[in-house]
Amino acid sequence: MKTVSSIALALGALLVLAVPRVAAAETDCLSCHGDKTLQDASGHSIGVDGAKFGASIHGSLKCGDCHATIKDYPHPDQVTPVKCETCHADQAAGLVGSVHANRAEHPCTSCHGDAHSIFPKADSRSAVYPLNIPRTCGACHGNAAMAQKHGLPNVYPLYIDSIHGFALSKEGLLVAANCQSCHGSHHILSHKDPLSPTYKANIPKTCGTCHAGITENYMGGVHGKAVAAGNLNAPVCTDCHTAHAILQPTAAAFRMQSTPICGSCHKDKLSTYRDTFHSQLGSLGGYVETARCWDCHGAHDVLPASDPRSPIAKENLVTTCGRCHAGANASFVQYQPHANARNRKLNPALYFVRLFMNLLLAGTLGFFMIHTILWLIRSRYDQIKRKAAGGGKNA
Amino acid sequence: MPDQEPKVAESSEKRPTGERYFMRFTRAQRYLHAALFTSFLGLAGTGLPLRFSESIWARGLAKGVGGFGAILFFHKFCAIVLTVAFLIHVKDLFTRAVMHHEKGIFWGKTSMVANWKDVKDLFGHLRWFLGLGPKPQFERYAYWEKFDYWAVFWGMVVIGFSGYAMWFAPFFAHFLPGWALNAVLVIHSEEGLLAILFIFSIHFVNTHLRPDSFPMDMVIFTGVESEEEFKHKRTQEYERLKAQGKLESRIAEAAPVWLLNFSKVVGFTAIFIGLLLLVLTLTAYFGS
């Protein structure tokens, strides 16, 4: 008896605690809409989980606060859609002019989830909780068909396998960049819009919100200065690191993919780099230590050789080369990592060495090729003649 | 050439054909050739992926052996083997020339050094190719064999030096000018390419695949060749030995069947790898 009564008491206490909030959300409405299977004429669910709603951020509101057009019971079959902007005016204003401005296509609930169970963004149950944002955005932006229809890259898989995605999904790092860290939330603009945080000129500042030190370095380098001066051909963070599929820069995959990125602008430098041992070694997988562009030039604060702070300034070469080549000396650093053996004016010695080697190769092979072919024909002819005469192989 | 015991000659007569066999290469020379071609195949197989590192097969090959780290290791390993073989050969030459005062090394009919006869043979051979003259008769080493030898000799010095200069670049930088560090790669890769193309096309055909030796000249593996072959290929040497009465001293036992079979497997494998590398080189060269 004693246990039963204590259970009853506990249940009673629970009811007392829970009931007032549900009651506040109006038991009248829930007498019908409490049926979770309830559907309207077009088949949409119009059932509401009273308990869940009570716990949500809007739990203290009455149904009529949002469904303002419903005054009496019974109410008409067709009701006016809820206007969130009645309370959330700032957010609604933000949406105007954004890529999600079309309210029919992008109702608030498309990001915030079920209207009756919206939680504060700091609550892990919220669809816009930092760790949930990629999945929320990915519902559309991870859909290949949708991406194709709007001419957008299918970014979710790229992001989720990136260094940011891993930090977020594997380590639950709240400060890891999620979609809205770079794109914003309500006033999301196309990267073509100069006001967008993802507009090329604004990217250093956007990434700099977290990567402040790197951005400062970058702004001091030739690329940063060029971008600041309005030259949008110069690379910003995303040109080298990509926007979504960002890799750990020390990762083999990044070291393998990065050189062609620099080379997409510095074509002549890439071509001469390709001729060197650094590139030949580096092109083959599994040996990623060989010098890539930024190992010598610096990554963010790239400076011309004429700047004494540059790692490729004459006075710093022994140190720079010495990072890999123990024992590098003044003579060693005269090596030209971008020598062009095809350019007689720039590298005359190398040009003539190459010319000599090519002539030697062509001459030797050319002569012996003719020699061997003639020999083959002649000895085959002789052999057939000998065989016809009844002799042996070597007779 | 070491003198052969008479019993060797007797045993060769056991062959049903009754064919006599003659010694051409000593065991040491055959081992040297074996060390040379195995390390050369290794160097070619690991060097080509570097030379053509942009091509797909190079990356596939590098991946197959464990990436470039492994390729570099094999390349350096083979380089050391070849260097040791080269040094043993040079030491052998030195001993024979200086210690034993063997004059035939540098001049004379059995020397590797080119002489006036080689020049005449080359032009005579070319005339014969075109049906303009008789076929020249060759001595112990024909002019193309001497060329092969010196090409390899020069190649090893040039490729070896440039290779070590890259391997120990900071050390070599003490006495080489800066531009030389750029030049050694060009030299190494061009000379290496020449060696590969030459060995896998010209040497293969001249020595092994030409109708007189097709499909493979076994003498470098077994050390011996039949009298018929000897007479046909090196008529002058044969006649000279016969006139000097030294022919009998060169008679040797026919190669045992196991050695013949083993040599065929090794030789054909080497030729197959070589031709494969040749095809890959040509595709990469003309594909790029």
B53:A281 CB<8 A: yes
Characterize the bridge pairing of strands B224-226 and B251-252. unpaired
User: What pLDDT is recorded for position B222?
Assistant: 93
pLDDT of A25 reads: 46
Q: Sort out which chain A residues have CB atoms less than 8 A from B215's CB and list them.
A: none
Q: Which of B128, B176, B186 sits opposite A378 (nearest CB)?
A: B128
Does the beta-carbon distance from B228 to A332 stay under 8 Å? no
What's the longest Cα–Cα distance across chain B? Answer: 67
Q: Name which of A283, A326, A358 is nearest B170 (Cβ-Cβ).
A: A326
Per-residue pLDDT, A104: 85
**Contact yes or no for B197 and A378 at CB 8 A:** no
Asked if A327 lies within 8 A of B190 by C-beta distance, the reply is no
Contact call for residues B76 and B43 (beta carbons, < 8 A): no
* Residue B224 φ/ψ, nearest 5 degrees: -120, 155
Query: Residues A6-59: pLDDT tens digits?
Result: 665 555 554 444 444 444 446 778 888 888 888 888 888 888 888 889 889 998
DSSP string, chain B: -PPPPHHHHHHHTTSTT---EEE-S-HHHHHHHHHHHHHHHHHHHHHHHHHTTTSHHHHHHHHHTTHHHHHHHHHHHHHHHHHHHHHHHHHHHHIIIIIS--GGGTSSTT-SS--HHHHHHHHHHHHHHTTSSPPPPP-SS-HHHHHHHHHHHHHHHHHHHHHHHHHTHHHHTTTS-HHHHHHHHHHHHHHHHHHHHIIIIIIIIIIIISTTTTT--THHHHSEEEHHHHHHH-HHHHHHHHHHT-TGGGEEPPPPHHHHHHHHHHHHHHHHHHHHHHHHHHHHHHH-
Q: Is A352 within 8 Å of chain B by CB?
A: no
Q: pLDDT at residue A125 above 50?
A: yes
Give the global pTM.
0.76
* pLDDT above 80 for B3: no
Count the alpha carbons within 13 Å of B68 in the hemisphere toward its beta carbon.
25
The pLDDT of residue B12: 41
pLDDT at residue A318, as a whole number = 94
Q: What residues in B contact A329, CB-CB < 8 Å?
A: 170, 173-174
Pairing of strands B224-226, B21-23: antiparallel
Residue A371 confidence (pLDDT): 95
Residue B6 has pLDDT above 90, yes or no: no
> Residue B46's closest CA among B20, B79, B13?
B79
B178 chain-A contacts, CB cut-off 8 A: 331-336
Highest mean pLDDT among A211-225, A271-285, A321-335: A211-225
Residue A277 pLDDT level (bands cut at 50, 70, 90): confident
Mark yes or no for CB contact A377/B176 under 8 Å.
no
Mean pLDDT of B112-126: 95
Going by pLDDT thresholds of 50, 70 and 90, the confidence category of residue B95 is very high
Contacts of A350 in chain B (CB under 8 A): 179, 182-183, 186
Which pLDDT value is given to residue B4?
36
Size of interface A-B (CB pairs under 8 A): 164
B interface test, pick of A270, A276, A382, A394 with most B CB neighbours within 10 Å: A394
What would the pLDDT profile of B28-57 be if each residue is shown by its tens digit? Answer: 999 999 999 999 999 999 999 888 887 888
Instruction: Determine the distance in angstroms separating the CA of B11 from the nearest CA of chain A, rounded to an integer.
Output: 24
Task: Test B54 with A325 for CB contact under 8 angstroms.
Answer: no
Say whether pLDDT at A98 is over 50.
yes
Select the more confidently predicted residue: B151 or A390: B151
User: For residue B23, what pLDDT band results from cuts at 50, 70 and 90?
Assistant: very high
Tell me, what's the pLDDT at B71?
85
Residues of A in contact with B69 (CB under 8 A): 286-287
* Least confident among A196-205, A282-291, B75-84: A282-291
> Cis omega (within 30 of 0) on the bond before A235?
no
- Rounded CA gap, A214 and A221, in Å? 11
**What tokens were used for B230?**
């000897």
Of the residues A290, A317, A352, A368, the best mutation for testing chain B's interface (the one with the most B CB atoms within 10 Å of its CB) is A368
Q: Once rounded to an integer, what is the mean pLDDT over residues B85-98?
A: 93
> B174 to chain A: which residues are within 8 Å by CB?
329, 331
Q: Which of B129, B169, B186 sits opposite A353 (nearest CB)?
A: B186
Q: Do A334 and B179 touch (CB under 8 A)?
A: yes
pLDDT the model gives residue A391: 56
- What angle in degrees, to the nearest 10, is found between the helix axes of B67-94 and B27-51? 150
Set of chain B residues whose Cβ sits within 8 Å of the Cβ of A349: 179, 183
ipTM computed for the complex: 0.88
Mean pLDDT of the region A253-280: 88
Q: Is A370 on the interface with B (CB under 8 A)?
A: no
Which of B53, B63, B205 is closest, CB to CB, to A372? B205
Judge whether residue B134 has pLDDT over 50. Answer: yes
Task: Select the more confidently predicted residue: A201 or B14.
Answer: A201
Reading across the β-sheet that carries B224-226, which strands appear in turn?
A: B224-226, B21-23, B251-252
pLDDT at residue B13, as a whole number? 41
| Interface touch A284/B68, C-beta < 8 Å | yes
Tens of pLDDT, residue by residue over B225-270, are 999 999 999 999 999 999 999 999 999 999 999 999 999 999 999 9
State whether residue A287 sits within 8 Å of chain B by CB.
yes
Closest-CA distance, A296 to chain B, in angstroms, reads: 17
- Which of the residue ranges A20-29, A285-294, A323-332 has the most confident prediction, judged by mean pLDDT? A323-332
Boundaries of every domain in chain A: 248-339
Which residues of chain A lie closer than 8 angstroms to B129, CB-CB? 371, 374-375, 377-378
pLDDT at A148: 87
Q: How far does Cα B15 stand from its chain's mean position? A: 30
How many residues are present in chain A?
395
The mean pLDDT value of chain A amounts to 87
- Cβ separation of B194 and A364 shorter than 8 Å? yes
Banded pLDDT at A385 (limits 50, 70, 90)? confident
pLDDT of residue B11: 42
pLDDT above 70 coverage of chain A, percent: 90
Question: Averaged over A321-350, what is the pLDDT?
Answer: 90
Confidence of residue B213 (pLDDT cuts 50, 70, 90): confident
Q: Which of A283, A325, A374 sits opposite B54 (nearest CB)?
A: A283
Kindly state the average pLDDT of the residues B162-188.
Answer: 91
Q: Is A301's pLDDT higher than 70?
A: yes
Is the pLDDT score of B8 beyond 60?
A: no
Q: Is the per-residue pLDDT at A222 higher than 60?
A: yes
Kindly tell me if the per-residue pLDDT of A324 is higher than 60. Answer: yes
Average pLDDT over residues B132-136: 94
Q: Which residue does chain B place closest to A351, by CA atoms?
A: B183
Q: Which chain A residues are closer than 8 Å to B58 by Cβ?
A: 283-284
